[in-house]
């Protein structure tokens, strides 16, 4: 899921909207318990709906819920799953990390796992540069899927392949070859841009140092590019490229989160800082939150009072309770074009587990 698709999902407003979140197992025999867990969570959803409605009043929702659950491929799940269903919509998303099992019934879907997936384990790209055929992979963690559209893989047809090298004494062979490679990698970069547009995905280059340098010369330093994977990877399979690429991406993301926490602490002195869910809630409604930092595992069930402020609630499943005000807050910040990032448990203890860098 990309940012645009997430925004569209978060924009859906319909009651009841059911979100079922659960951890899953990638392999047998553990994954045999997954259908049983889903069945039990669906039963919880029905029990909660019957507190508010007669069964005939939520027939359409249950039909959507049953259809979504029937489409789950338990043999190819990852570490977590998010199922969404309302009277007019249903979807299942497989997550590359475990989630706490929960049933959420609200006017919107509980999209925090998808936000985390975009920021904690985001999609990224691996471009395996080669004079033979440059391959492109769409990746999440160490799982790579080769892209075979918009001309990928891109075959090199310049000098040294089917095209002969001119024999003029005025032409220095190495410079001539480099220019042809540069032109080829420029074409690769253009096709990459045409395919992904404004998604701003992290890009990992894999290939010999000279090819990586030529790609950057031809396309400029990509804004989301990080350290590359050296060596010839013409024949490296996807699973091996994933094993090499994910640690590079993971380290980069870890460093980025540490920089954000440092920026949060620096914002205290400049007056562009807030901590705690209630102050940030009000500031987010005003569109003042530029960056929201949230500890993973921080949930805040709440009633929304007459002034529009979240008041903590003991029972997340009680009618009228927002299961997680943090989830609502992340949606609000994203809708106001702010950024949301999740950090390690305990990393924001001095900031009441949730902090914000303000625009003004």
pLDDT score, position 39: 96
Spatial distance between the Cα atoms of 327 and 106, rounded to a whole number of angstroms: 11
* Residue spans per domain, the chain: 3-119, 123-253, 271-358
Could you tell me which of 76, 93, 68 has the C-alpha nearest to residue 25?
Answer: 76
| Dihedral, 70, 71, 74, 80 alpha carbons, nearest 10 | -100
CATH of 271-358, one of 3.50.50.60, 3.40.50.720, 3.40.50.150, 3.30.1330.30: 3.30.1330.30
More confident position, 89 or 141: 89
More confident position, 348 or 56: 348
Report pLDDT digits (tens) over 272-306: 999 999 999 999 999 999 999 999 889 898 988 88
pLDDT score, position 86: 96
- pLDDT tier at 120, thresholds 50, 70, 90: low
More confident position, 216 or 176: 216
Q: Are 139 and 147 in contact (CB under 8 A)?
A: no
Does residue 197 have a pLDDT over 80?
no
Does residue 340 have a pLDDT over 70?
yes
* DSSP3 helix / strand / coil % (the chain, rounded to 5): 40, 25, 35
pLDDT score, position 220: 81
pLDDT score, position 171: 59
**Helix H or strand E segment including 320:** none
Does residue 161 have a pLDDT over 70?
no
What are the backbone angles phi and psi of residue 99, rounded to the nearest 5°? -130, 155
pLDDT score, position 70: 96
pLDDT score, position 184: 93
- pLDDT tier at 28, thresholds 50, 70, 90: confident
- CATH class of the domain whose range is 3-119: alpha beta
CA dist list (Å): 102 to 22, 68, 158, 195, 242: 7, 17, 56, 36, 31
Average of per-residue pLDDT across 50-60: 90
Does residue 42 have a pLDDT over 70?
yes
- CATH class of the domain whose range is 123-253: alpha beta
pTM above 0.85, yes or no: no
ω into 16 cis (within 30 of 0)? yes
Query: Strand, coil or helix: what is 177?
Result: helix
What six digits make up the tokens of 298? Answer: 């921080």
- pLDDT tier at 170, thresholds 50, 70, 90: low
Burial of 217 (0-12, 13-18, 19+ CB in 10 A): middle
Q: Are 183 and 159 in contact (CB under 8 A)?
A: no
CA 358 to chain centre: 23
Query: Where do the H-state alpha helices sit in the chain?
Result: 3-10, 34-50, 59-70, 112-119, 173-196, 209-219, 238-270, 277-285, 325-335
Does residue 224 have a pLDDT over 70?
no
Does residue 98 have a pLDDT over 80?
yes
Average of per-residue pLDDT across 221-250: 87
């Amino acid at each position: 899921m990309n940012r645009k698709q997430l925004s569209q999902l978060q924009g859906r407003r319909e009651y009841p909207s059911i979100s079922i979140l659960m951890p899953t197992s990638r392999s047998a025999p553990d994954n045999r318990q997954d259908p049983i867990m889903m069945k039990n969570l669906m039963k919880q959803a029905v029990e909660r709906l019957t507190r508010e409605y007669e069964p005939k009043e939520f027939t359409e929702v249950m039909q959507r819920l049953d259809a979504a659950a029937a489409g789950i491929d338990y043999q190819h799940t990852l570490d977590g799953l998010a199922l969404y269903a309302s009277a007019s919509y249903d979807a299942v998303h497989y997550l590359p990390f475990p989630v706490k099992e929960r049933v959420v019934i609200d006017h919107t879907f509980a999209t925090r796992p998808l936000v985390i997936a975009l920021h904690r384990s985001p999609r990224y790209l691996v471009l395996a540069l080669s004079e033979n055929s440059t391959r492109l992979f769409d990746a999440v963690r160490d799982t790579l899927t080769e892209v075979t559209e918009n001309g990928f893989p891109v075959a090199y047809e310049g000098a040294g392949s089917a095209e002969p090298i001119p024999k003029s004494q005025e032409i220095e062979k190495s410079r001539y070859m480099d220019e042809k490679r540069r032109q080829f990698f420029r074409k690769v970069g253009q096709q990459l841009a045409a395919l992904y547009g404004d998604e701003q995905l992290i890009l990992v280059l894999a290939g010999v140092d000279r090819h990586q340098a030529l790609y950057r010369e031809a396309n400029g330093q990509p804004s989301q590019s990080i350290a590359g994977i050296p060596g010839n990877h013409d024949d490296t399979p996807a699973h091996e490229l994933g094993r090499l690429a994910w640690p590079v991406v993971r380290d980069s993301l870890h460093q980025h989160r540490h920089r954000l926490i440092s920026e949060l602490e620096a914002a205290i002195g400049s007056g562009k800082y807030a901590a705690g869910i209630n102050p940030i809630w009000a500031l987010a409604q005003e569109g003042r939150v530029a960056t929201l930092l949230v500890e993973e595992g921080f949930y805040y069930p709440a009633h929304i009072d007459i002034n529009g402020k979240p008041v903590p609630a003991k029972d997340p499943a009680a009618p009228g309770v927002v299961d997680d005000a943090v989830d609502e807050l992340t949606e609000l910040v994203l809708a106001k074009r702010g950024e949301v990032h999740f950090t390690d448990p305990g990393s924001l203890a001095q900031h009441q587990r949730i902090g914000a860098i303000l625009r003004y």
